[in-house]
Amino acid sequence: MNYTHTIKEIIKDHVAHLKFIQDGKAYYEVVVDMGTSYEFPIPINDMGTGIFNRDDKAILFMRWIRKAMVEETMRQLRPLLL
């Protein structure tokens, strides 16, 4: 899948926000520019004993963002046009 932004553009100076938890995965979203955002999963069993805040620096999630890009489990979301 081709994404509009590179991983570097997605993580640089952006924040990842926890959206929801479902089916053993936590889903985070990073808003990049003009409302374009990316949603990616983190398997709960992959979190170990780490602390995952509701909002944190996107660079801390680079491992899972890269994995989601390779496995094509990351979704690119576009803003709603009203």
* Domain assignments of the chain as residue spans, ordered by start: 7-77
* Residues in the chain, total: 82
Q: Taking all residues of the chain, what is their mean pLDDT, rounded to a whole number?
A: 92
Could you tell me the pLDDT band of residue 71, with boundaries at 50, 70 and 90?
very high
- Residue 35 has a pLDDT of 76
For the chain, percent of residues with pLDDT exceeding 70: 95
What pairs with residue 42 in β-bridges?
Answer: 26
Q: Residue 79 — φ and ψ, nearest 5°?
A: -65, 150
Report pTM. 0.90
Across 16-23, average pLDDT: 96
Beginning with the edge strand found earlier in the chain, give each strand of the sheet holding 15-22 in spatial order: 55-57, 15-22, 25-33, 36-43, 75-77
List, in order, residues 6 or more apart from 2 with CB less than 8 Å away.
none
The answer to whether residues 74 and 38 touch, using CB atoms and an 8 Å cutoff, is yes
Sort strands 25-33 and 36-43 into parallel, antiparallel or unpaired: antiparallel
